[in-house]
Amino acid sequence: MARERRHWEIDAVRGAAVISMIAFHFAFDLSYFSSLPINVDSGFWLLLARLTAATFLLLVGLSLTLSYSRVRGRSGKMIWLKYIRRGIKIFSYGMLITLATWLLVPEGTILFGVLHLIGLSIILSRPFLDRKRLSLAAGLVIILSGLWLQGMRFPFPWLLWLGLPPYSFYTFDYFPLFPWFGLVLVGIFLGNTLYPSGRRKFSFAMRRPRPFSPLCFLGRNSLIIYFLHQPLLIATLLLLGLL
């Protein structure tokens, strides 16, 4: 069976999120490593960070429905293995980030960041991929539960991945299952609603407009950009004498 055409608008939205991610991390690096008075913990920069993360996670869920549409009909065991392997692969990338931050900036070691979340979410999402209403209901419950848990601290560290961080917990990047997995599930609902069986349910330009090509390129290569952009940002700031 021929490989299905990518939906360029999804790549373009992901590419826009890549740009906003780079912008936020540029501000964060200036705030953390230099003496410039940039507050990334509130206001515009915090809102940008949250919107960027929400966009990526919604697209994770939506993209999972598109990939599922290509394997629907295969044996259940094969489908489970597909998502388990993919989830473990992305989670392993997250562990590389854990190792790198532990070696370079141990005070902010990333124990459960966005790649850890995405890897585990890919595995946990399998029962929801063909259950549109269930994914929406479960997603909203998880989001609301996670918002309720925010700010709470606990005398043990074992469940920080779930959304129960210990006292005095600090990290550069923290995306526990509650509430963030809820956004992946809402993305699954959107994917099944807007792209049933992997096809657009709405009228849209089939061919990618040329002005969107750079955004689509960024969107198609978002993972490698995620790994490379911070070292490149820091090197740029060093060259500019801002660090």
pLDDT tens-digit series, residues 198-218: 888 887 767 888 899 999 999
Backbone angles phi, psi at 178, to 5 degrees: -100, 115
220 pLDDT more than 90: yes
CA pair distance 40, 42, nearest whole angstrom:
6
DSSP label at residue 6: P
Give the pLDDT confidence score for residue 5 in this predicted structure. 63
State residue 76's pLDDT score: 66
- Give the integer Cα–Cα distance in Å for 45 and 132: 33
Q: What is the DSSP letter of 37?
A: -
- pLDDT, tens digit (0-9, with 9 covering 90-100), for 100-145: 999 999 999 999 999 999 999 999 999 999 999 999 999 999 999 9
pLDDT for position 228: 96
pLDDT tens, residue by residue, 102-113: 999 999 999 999
Q: What is the mean pLDDT of residues 39-66?
A: 96
Per-residue pLDDT at 33: 85
Whether the predicted pLDDT of 227 surpasses 60? yes
Q: How many percent of the chain have pLDDT more than 70?
A: 96
The per-residue pLDDT for range 155-172, each reduced to its tens digit, is 999 999 999 999 999 999
Average pLDDT, the chain: 92
Residues 6+ apart with CB under 8 A from 61: 121, 125, 135, 183, 184, 185, 186, 187, 188, 189, 190, 191
Domain locations along the chain? 75-204
73: left (phi over 0), alpha (psi -120 to 50) or beta: left
**Cα 127 to Cα 137: distance, rounded to the nearest angstrom:** 13
% pLDDT > 90, the chain: 77
Q: What is the distance between the alpha carbons of residues 68 and 148, in angstroms, rounded to a whole number?
A: 32
Out of 67-71, 72-76, 193-197, the most confident range is 193-197
- The crossing angle, in degrees rounded to 10, of helices 43-71 and 114-124 is 30
The tokens for 7 are 């939906």
Report the C-alpha gap between 129 and 66 in whole angstroms.
Answer: 10
Question: Is the pTM value of this prediction over 0.85?
Answer: yes
Q: Which residues contact 127 (CB under 8 A, 6 or more apart)?
A: none
Per-residue pLDDT at 84: 95
75: confidence class by pLDDT, cuts 50, 70, 90: low
> Looking at residue 202, what is its pLDDT?
83
